């Protein structure tokens, strides 16, 4: 995929593939990422290297987070994507609340934001982070950026709001940055820490 893609994501965090999330354990992750990065470099030769991101689950313990940060830095991955869906169940009203599988959208928002903050703290701002999980407005995107995300992704909100939401979010984000005196998104990244 490297010659074709703008970036590649190693996604080891889907709850819907049995055993996949075990690859987040340090030993397995080392083996996987060293092979991926070696191949990425070999394919590129002297051409620019395609960025490689690692996408993780929100259902991680503090020790897992430290391990993932270590391995990511060691193998020179370009960013971490935080996070995929959760297998936990925050209080839900839906009659489908006992279904198994990954939960996305609004009920994931607080957990995904907290994990982003955890990864920001563990990495000391040295690894670019991509925030995802329950983002549905410019305010949500801005909160994630200020907590340390250099980029945001969204999936569920697109289902409810449709594709034009990207434009309204970009406009809203520009307004929020201006209101708070930032001249770029990059300037606002991690600014809630200051």
Ligand X SMILES: Cc1cc2nc3c(=O)[nH]c(=O)nc-3n(C[C@H](O)[C@H](O)[C@H](O)COP(=O)(O)O)c2cc1C
Does residue 134 interact with ligand X by CB under 6 A? yes
Task: Choose, by CB under 6 A, the member of 156, 176, 182, 188 that binds ligand X.
Answer: 156
- The DSSP element (H or E) to which 129 belongs, if any, is strand 129-132
Does residue 154 interact with ligand X by CB under 6 A? yes
Does residue 79 interact with ligand X by CB under 6 A? no
14 classed as catalytic: yes
- Annotated active-site residue in 14, 46, 94, 150: 14
- The DSSP element (H or E) to which 152 belongs, if any, is strand 149-153
- The DSSP element (H or E) to which 10 belongs, if any, is strand 8-11
Task: Choose, by CB under 6 A, the member of 33, 57, 69, 135 that binds ligand X.
Answer: 135
Does residue 133 interact with ligand X by CB under 6 A? yes
Task: Choose, by CB under 6 A, the member of 105, 122, 137, 151 that binds ligand X.
Answer: 105
| 140: its two tokens | 């949500």
Q: Name the minimum Å distance from CB 159 to ligand X.
A: 8
Phi, psi of 150 (to 5 degrees): -90, -20
Considering only CA atoms, which of 50, 46, 34 is closest in space to residue 1?
A: 50
- Residue 187 per-residue DSSP state: H
Asked if residue 64 lies in contact with residue 28, where contact means CB atoms within 8 angstroms, the answer is: no
Does residue 155 interact with ligand X by CB under 6 A? yes
Q: Which residues bind ligand X (CB under 6 A)?
A: 9, 11, 55, 84-85, 104-105, 108, 132-135, 154-157
């Amino acid at each position: 995929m490297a010659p074709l893609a703008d970036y590649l994501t190693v996604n080891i965090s889907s709850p819907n593939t049995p055993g996949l999330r075990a690859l987040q354990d340090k030993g397995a992750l080392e083996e996987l990422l060293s092979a991926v990065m070696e191949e990425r470099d070999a394919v590129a030769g002297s051409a620019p290297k395609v960025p490689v991101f690692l996408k993780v689950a929100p259902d991680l313990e503090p020790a897992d987070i430290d391990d993932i940060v270590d391995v990511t830095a060691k193998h020179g991955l370009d960013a971490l994507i935080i996070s995929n869906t959760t297998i936990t169940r925050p209080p839900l009203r839906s009659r489908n609340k006992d279904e198994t599988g990954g939960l996305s959208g609004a009920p994931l928002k607080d957990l995904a934001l907290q994990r982003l903050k955890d990864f920001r703290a563990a990495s000391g701002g040295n690894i670019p982070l991509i925030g995802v999980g329950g983002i549905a407005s410019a305010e949500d995107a801005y909160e994630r950026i200020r907590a340390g995300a250099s980029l945001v992704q969204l999936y569920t909100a697109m289902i409810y709001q449709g594709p034009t939401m990207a434009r309204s979010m970009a406009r809203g984000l520009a307004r929020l940055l201006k209101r708070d005196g930032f001249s770029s998104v990059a300037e606002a990244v991690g600014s809630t820490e200051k």
